[in-house]
A and B are shown apart, each in its own frame.
Chain A
Amino acid sequence: MLLSGLLAGVELGLNRVLALDSTALPRLARLSGKVIAIDCSAPALQLFILPSAEGLRLATQWAAPADCRLRAPAASLLQLAISAQKTAVLHSPNLELEGDSAVLLELAGILQDLELDWEYQLSCWIGPVASQLLGAHLRSRAHWTQQSLDSLHQHLADYLSEESRSLVGQREAQARFTELDALTLDLDRLDARLMRLDHLSAPLNPSDNA
């Protein structure tokens, strides 16, 4: 009952978030009536996901048969959730998939493509002008923060390679790597040549002439 209450809370929050994307609910409506079962093997936990035009319904048990069943340990499920290449992760040996995988991939695609319109939601509370001003301010702050982080990264790299000489510079490292690659190739060639010489000298062995 506790887990059911927790899921009800998660479901409510998730559906609020889904409602912020104008395309998510119509896309979910196309999956209406489908049942996706997620069997987490470690720790043992079962979750049923039922998409509909109103959002997602989450349940710990569902009496109707599932259209698609995914069985995997929690780590693999997490990897699947955050990976951009979901099809590749689905082929992992840790994952077992039964039924219609297109339903699962479609749902994953919808969740991955979410573009949440926070500004619209904010405008419902504080009005369009204030939300636009606040949105513009937050966007400018975010842009400034991103620029500052890029600049810090660049300066730190320059300091470590040029000033303190703790690390080699990018170009210097590249030149060394090219030299190492050339050396590796030379060694491979030499190795091949020695093998060839060994092979040529083999018929001169007296035991072979006997």
Chain B
Amino acid sequence: MNDSRKGRDAEPTTHFGYKSVPESQKAAKVAEVFHSVAAKYDLMNDLMSAGVHRLWKRFTVELSGVRNGNRVLDIAGGTGDLTKQFARLVGPTGEVVLADINASMLKVGRDRLLDLGVAGNVTFVQADAEKLPFPDNHFDCVTIAFGLRNVTHKEDALRSMLRVLKPGGRLLVLEFSKPSSTLLSKAYDTYSFSLLPMMGKLITNDSESYRYLAESIRMHPDQETLKAMLADAGFERVTYHNMTGGIVALHRGIKP
């Protein structure tokens, strides 16, 4: 009797890579990972993807439809790759908000953008994607690049993004996904679980964070599942584009 009550009262768990952790602990564990890698994040991105992540982000900006005077929210914006490009597109009459839950990443992003002279139309906000601290119907475009898989309650985050978008606004989710070919999938697995942690060890002296990266990618919903999640959250005309053989996918949904 006691045991079953204990089971009912026990905190629900979620995945952290291949491990199962109480939901309340995931955010802190993800934060640890990003605190550890923040300083060398850009360098590692370039090394891990051989620079291709710049093309994935470029394609995201092309599909965003962002124009002069628009208001854009870049969730999990990290070191500000997308924010930099959006700031140029929205011009002085627009606004870009770089939001990240992790203070270290936000600090690196803010310093980097200021050093590049990107200022005036950019604001930095430490925020949780599940509970966005913005009014309803506020943004023309919301993007989340390589961030959704780290969110504990993805459905809540998607609903929160829908809330802050204006009707007709676009959500763009750039995230690792499932390779379309078996051969590529095998090569990608070998790369992710052998080379990636080794590179992490060499560059940031932290192989565990990059092991988590590889594991979290495998635990993330595939293209069709994420498409269904966006539709369930209330987005319309949901489409996705595979890039680099499906290693990365860009999902786009419109707020009705």
Contact = CB atoms under 8 A, between A and B. Distances in A.
Interface in A14-71: 32-33, 35, 48, 50, 52, 54, 57, 59-64
B238 to A, nearest CB: 15
B58 A8 contact: yes
Nearest to A5: B55
B55 A8 contact: yes
Contacts of A54: 88
A63 B172 CA distance: 12
A62 B65 CA distance: 6
A61 B64 CA distance: 10
Interface residues of B, number: 19
A32 B91 contact: yes
B62 A33 contact: no
Contact of A64 (B54, B58, B59, B67): B67
| Best-buried of B52, B58, B89 by chain A (most CB within 10 Å) | B58
Interface of chain B, main secondary structure: helix
A60 B69 CA distance: 23
B62 A61 contact: yes
Nearest to B245: A1
A64 B55 contact: no
A63 B64 contact: yes
A33 B88 CA distance: 9
A111 to B, nearest CB: 20
A62 B69 CA distance: 17
A64 B64 CA distance: 8
A35 B66 CA distance: 11
B123 interface: no
B63 A64 contact: no
Q: Is the interface of A mostly helix, strand, loop or mixed?
A: loop
Size bracket of the A interface = 10 to 19
A5 B59 CA distance: 10
A16 B151 CA distance: 40
B205 interface: no
Interface string B66-82: 11110000000000000
A33 B54 contact: no
A167 B146 CA distance: 74
A4 interface: yes
Contact of B67 (A4, A8, A33, A52): A33
Contacts of A35: 67
Given A1-B55, A1-B244, A8-B54, A64 B88 contact: no
Nearest to A59: B62
Contacts of B244: 1
Contacts of A63: 62-65, 170
A60 B63 CA distance: 10
A35 B64 CA distance: 14
Contacts of A64: 65-67
Contacts of A32: 68, 91
A60 B91 CA distance: 22
A82 to B, nearest CB: 28
10 contacts: A1-B55, A1-B59, A5-B55, A8-B58, A32-B91, A33-B89, A35-B67, A52-B88, A61-B63, A64-B67
Interface of A: 1, 4-5, 8, 32-33, 35, 48, 50, 52, 54, 57, 59-64
Given A62-B62, A64-B65, 14 more contacts: A1-B55, A4-B55, A8-B54, A33-B67, A33-B68, A33-B69, A33-B89, A50-B89, A54-B88, A59-B58, A59-B62, A63-B62, A63-B63, A63-B170
Interface of B: 52, 54-55, 58-59, 62-69, 88-89, 91, 170, 243-244
9 pairs of A and B residues whose beta carbons are closest in the complex: A63-B65, A33-B68, A64-B65, A59-B62, A64-B67, A63-B63, A4-B55, A61-B62, A5-B55
